[in-house]
């Protein structure tokens, strides 16, 4: 089995095609040899740089160990190439191939990954970035370099990858948290930079469930973009929260020589992800002046504030409630020395999250033994239609006209059996968050994924502009594998 390679960048132009092979690789992580999967033998896979407006063909061959597909996350492609088994195509069996014709109508940072047993596939290393370069040279501010950073974690035991069950997804209560942090597939990521350099980092959260709160203390960081484009206003920030499936674009200015530690900062912990070593050599050209300006993107403001004025106070067209069901088997199977509930499931109200305000975000696997015992046969995470009460793929009757703007209210029930955050991802369209708990979003951006914290009500506006049958799902991969997915049609 070959050693996993570091990712390469491939520049593609309109009409080109590229071959991609899923293949087994081995990789040394934290002193252990881990059997994984890579696109073209690398983890992450190749980064594709593609001009806005281009159409590219990806010829995917499955040389892996399970069926696969390719989903270009965030891309508003033609529906047959969305990569969702049972909805847009059949699974690609081991040894088989499929060609994806993808149109890239939006500039920004996207990524690709399988849509079959995503919990196993992504944990095994099958993910990579797509950077779509804008037509206009002034779309982004000038920088010295652009670098994609894929943030991930991986769960290892003494033998390598923490085992998976071939029949059911496990860790379905909270998702599979890793015990080793990775940036671009590496522990202790290293970058060399020059004094005065401005670097654009394209951040992608490729983890199964972990939130990342990205920081570079000592350097100055500016948040400029998200999933599908630019914010209305650029802002200086100390940290950037990125939920699974989400992307963020930050420009970082390294003013002085020295070592800058790249961190994941939670309310209780700090994790070192890597470091940027800045030499005393001065960068040329200097973009210090441009970096110091916080741009307001007038075209974005005009478009999004116009939509905000129309839809902010309008009644929602659709609503989704986020909740959880467990089987009697799960309720019986967890002796934890606490009072039991239901069919004998032993846990405290605090553990279940009931009657406890707690944090609106779960940063760690605080219920490790219970999470490890949970699986997709025992547990169903639910997207519930607030009008009909139908659940997940049974909803089935959401149909929108192409060009329609659809206001959807998403409520994350704090009284569910285990309330926690859910990043909800819509395929094939873009969306914007209008408000959270009735408070207007004061700096909107086009996105494809929205994080809904425990107890929150988030109103989104779906730009239903791309015809076809699509899915929406939680991007905590174990939740999606436990049923937390629905479909909708755009005609």
Q: Which of 18-22, 104-108, 356-360 has the lowest mean pLDDT?
A: 356-360
Strand-pairing partners, residue 197, are 254
pLDDT tops 90 at residue 353? no
pLDDT of residue 39: 99
pLDDT tops 60 at residue 18? yes
In the numeric block, which tokens belong to residue 5?
């390679």
Which residue reads 């674009």 in tokens? Answer: 249
**Average pLDDT score over residue span 446-461:** 99
pLDDT digits (tens, 9 = 90+) for 111-152: 999 999 999 999 999 999 999 999 999 999 999 999 999 999
Does 341 share its domain with 236?
Answer: no
Range of the domain at 236: 145-296
pLDDT digits (tens, 9 = 90+) for 247-287: 999 999 999 999 999 999 999 999 999 999 999 999 999 99
Instruction: Report the chain's C-alpha Rg in angstroms.
Output: 22
**Average pLDDT score over residue span 373-401:** 96
Please check whether residue 432 lies inside any domain of the structure. yes
Does 384 share its domain with 449?
Answer: yes
Please check whether residue 312 lies inside any domain of the structure. no
pLDDT tops 90 at residue 453? yes
Across all residues in the chain, what is the average pLDDT? 94
Please check whether residue 304 lies inside any domain of the structure. no
**Average pLDDT score over residue span 89-107:** 98
Does 338 share its domain with 452?
Answer: yes
- pTM for this predicted structure: 0.95
Does 69 share its domain with 103?
Answer: yes
CATH of the domain at 21: 2.60.40.420
Structural domains counted in the chain: 3
Count of C-beta atoms within a 10 Å radius of residue 83: 27
**Average pLDDT score over residue span 330-334:** 61
Domain stop point among 83, 107, 133:
133
Please check whether residue 138 lies inside any domain of the structure. no
Does 172 share its domain with 290?
Answer: yes
Spatial separation of the C-alpha atoms in residues 171 and 165, rounded to whole Å:
11
Does 120 share its domain with 189?
Answer: no
Does 236 share its domain with 111?
Answer: no
Q: Are 274 and 188 in contact (CB under 8 A)?
A: yes
pLDDT band of residue 296 (cuts 50, 70, 90) is very high
Q: What percent of the chain has pLDDT over 70?
A: 94
pLDDT of residue 28: 97
pLDDT digits (tens, 9 = 90+) for 184-208: 999 999 999 999 999 999 999 999 9
pLDDT digits (tens, 9 = 90+) for 30-74: 999 999 999 999 999 999 999 999 999 999 999 999 999 999 999
pLDDT of residue 336: 42
Helical residues (DSSP H) of 201-297, grouped into ranges: 288-292
Please check whether residue 406 lies inside any domain of the structure. yes
Please check whether residue 78 lies inside any domain of the structure. yes
Domain stop point among 85, 113, 133:
133
Please check whether residue 139 lies inside any domain of the structure. no
pLDDT of residue 359: 80
Kindly state the helix (H) or strand (E) to which residue 349 belongs, with its residue range.
helix 349-352
pLDDT tops 80 at residue 221? yes
Does 210 share its domain with 98?
Answer: no
pLDDT tops 60 at residue 443? yes
Kindly state the helix (H) or strand (E) to which residue 307 belongs, with its residue range.
helix 298-311
For 57-124, the three-class secondary structure string (H helix, E strand, C coil) is EEEEEECCCCCECCEEECCCCCHHHCCCECCCECCECCCCEEEEEEECCCCEEEEEECCCCHHHHHHC
Does 164 share its domain with 262?
Answer: yes
Please check whether residue 140 lies inside any domain of the structure. no
pLDDT of residue 229: 92
Strand-pairing partners, residue 34, are 27
**Average pLDDT score over residue span 290-306:** 98
Domain stop point among 92, 112, 133:
133
pLDDT of residue 358: 53
Does 333 share its domain with 477?
Answer: yes
Does 176 share its domain with 48?
Answer: no
**Average pLDDT score over residue span 371-380:** 94
Does 351 share its domain with 381?
Answer: yes
Cα atoms in the Cβ-side hemisphere of radius 13 Å centred on 296: 8
Q: Is 33 helix (H, G, I), strand (E, B) or coil?
A: strand
């Amino acid at each position: 089995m070959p050693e996993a390679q570091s990712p390469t960048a491939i520049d593609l132009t309109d009409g080109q095609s590229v071959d991609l092979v899923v293949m087994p690789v081995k990789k040394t992580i934290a002193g252990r040899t881990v059997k994984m999967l890579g696109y073209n033998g690398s983890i992450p896979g190749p980064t594709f740089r593609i001009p806005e407006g281009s159409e590219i063909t990806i010829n995917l061959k499955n040389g892996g160990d399970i069926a696969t597909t390719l989903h270009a996350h965030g891309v508003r492609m033609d529906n047959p190439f969305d990569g969702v088994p049972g909805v847009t195509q059949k699974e690609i069996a081991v040894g088989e191939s499929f060609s994806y014709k993808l149109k890239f109508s939006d500039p920004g940072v996207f990524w690709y990954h399988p849509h079959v047993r995503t919990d196993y596939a992504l944990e095994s290393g099958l993910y990579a970035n797509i950077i779509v370069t804008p037509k206009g040279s002034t779309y982004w501010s000038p920088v010295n370099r652009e670098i994609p950073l894929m943030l991930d974690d991986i769960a290892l035991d003494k033998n390598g990858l923490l085992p998976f069950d071939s029949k059911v997804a496990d860790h379905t209560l909270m998702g599979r948290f890793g015990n080793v942090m990775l940036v671009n597939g590496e522990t202790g990521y290293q970058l060399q930079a020059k004094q005065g350099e401005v670097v654009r980092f394209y951040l992608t959260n490729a983890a199964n469930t972990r939130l990342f709160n990205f920081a570079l203390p000592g350097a100055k960081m500016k948040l400029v973009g998200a999933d599908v484009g630019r914010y209305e206003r650029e802002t200086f920030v100390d940290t950037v929260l990125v939920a699974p499936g989400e992307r963020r674009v930050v420009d970082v200015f390294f003013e002085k020589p020295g070592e800058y530690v790249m961190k994941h900062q939670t309310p209780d912990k700090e994790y070192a992800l890597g470091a940027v070593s800045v030499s005393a050599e001065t960068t040329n050209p200097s973009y210090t002046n441009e970096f110091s300006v916080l741009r307001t993107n007038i075209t974005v403001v005009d478009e999004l504030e116009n939509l905000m004025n129309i839809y902010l106070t309008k009644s929602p067209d659709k609503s989704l409630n986020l909740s959880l069901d467990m089987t009697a088997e799960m309720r019986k199977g967890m002796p934890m020395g606490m009072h039991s509930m239901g069919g004998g499931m032993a846990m405290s109200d605090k553990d279940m999250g009931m009657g406890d305000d707690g944090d609106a975000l779960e940063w760690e696997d605080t219920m490790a033994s219970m999470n490890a015992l949970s699986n997709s046969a025992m547990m169903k995470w639910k997207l519930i239609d607030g009008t009909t009460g139908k659940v997940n793929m049974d909803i089935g009757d959401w149909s929108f006209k192409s060009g329609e703007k659809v206001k959807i209210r998403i409520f994350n029930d704090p009284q569910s059996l285990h309330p926690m955050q859910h990043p909800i991802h819509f395929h094939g369209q873009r969306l914007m968050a209008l408000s959270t708990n009735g408070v207007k979003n004061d700096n909107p951006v086009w996105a494809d994924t929205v994080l809904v914290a425990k107890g929150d009500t988030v109103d989104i506006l779906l730009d239903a502009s791309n015809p076809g049958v699509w899915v929406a799902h939680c991007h905590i991969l174990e939740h999606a594998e436990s049923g937390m997915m629905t479909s909708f049609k755009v005609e």
